[in-house]
Amino acid sequence: MSRAPLRVVITGASSGIGAATAVAFARQGARLVLGARGTAGLDDIALRCRGAGGTADAVPVDVTDPRAVADFAADARARLGGIDLWFSCVGVGVLGKYQDVPLADHQRVIEANLLSHMNEAHAVLPIFLAQDRGTWVNMISIGGFFATSFAAAYSASKFGLRGFSQALRGELSKNPRIHICDVYPTFVDTPAIGHAGNYTGARLSMPPGSLAPETVAKAVVRLARHPRNTTVLGAPALALKLGQFAVPNLSAAMMNGFMERWSREAERGEDGSGTLFDPPSEPSGIEGGQRRPEQRRAAAAAAGATALGAAALGAWLWRRRR
């Protein structure tokens, strides 16, 4: 017996991971409602989804506006006749020493990365409860485990998202058919690097070994049929958790040293808020175009080794304190 097409809502669907996930679901014949700020990128991805074999409605929405999100959710349910999976994939960033970045930019990061996901969960959970089933996928990132120097607001938002998901899972523990799924990729080669706010004085670029957006999309699609609480991509999940518990400040200090050196030595760039406050006027697509696949395995291994080393060091120090 063939399965009914999945009914999927994706926010942040106009580029990057959200766009890749929309196309991946479309290849399975899913019925999609896609949301984002910019109509140009949204229309582009909706067209790609239809070409891939799915149906897709592009619905512009500002997810930082709770009323707009509630209306968007009601509209999506009406269009689809229900919602099987909702993927909250809106995310922005700004790089620079905390005091050098305008406070308005920091606030925008918190609104887009944390409060928007909370708005979306608040809108979709009543739908899931009425259906007695549904999956909410919360895009977080490895930044939910390790604080990122030069991105303090981003770190605050990602740590907040991890705690938010854990709290929701507790509240929904008596609803076994409703799932809260977190996704934690390492660096992903998307257009976001060109959209980010930047106050470092250097031109932003992706580190070696960044994941392809399609890798993350494949993991999200799997969650529709096989939900799980935590999905980590690009590094071992257990090592990240142990490292965060054992030596929470070590990785941030190491990152700070790297970022200070990088900002001094990298090619010069122009400071500004990027697309934090206004969407791109043209479609951005899925890939960022900076990935070097031949280095991906080495970088993933290095990330895992770093996390494992931090965890081991922390465990040793903890035993000595005893």
> Is 302 contained in some domain?
yes
> Is 182 contained in some domain?
yes
State pLDDT tens for residues 10-67. 999 999 999 999 999 999 999 999 999 999 999 999 999 999 999 999 999 999 999 9
> Is 101 contained in some domain?
yes
> Is 311 contained in some domain?
yes
> Is 254 contained in some domain?
yes
List the catalytic residue out of 98, 154, 184, 199. Answer: 154
State pLDDT tens for residues 248-263. 677 677 777 777 786 7
> Is 2 contained in some domain?
no
Per-residue tokens: 106: 């920091």
- Domains contained in the chain, number: 1
CA distance 96 to 201: 9
Q: Which helix (H) or strand (E) holds 243?
A: helix 237-246
> Is 1 contained in some domain?
no
The reply to whether 184 belongs to the active site is: no
Provide the domain limits for residue 296.
Answer: 7-321
Query: For residue 201, what are the CA distances in angstroms to 97, 205, 290?
Result: 11, 13, 20
> Is 140 contained in some domain?
yes
State pLDDT tens for residues 92-149. 999 999 999 999 999 999 999 999 999 999 999 999 999 999 999 999 998 998 888 8
Burial 238-260 (b: 16+ CB within 10 A, else e): ebbebbbebbeebbbeebeeebe
This prediction has a pTM of 0.88
For residue 294, give the CATH number of its domain: 3.40.50.720
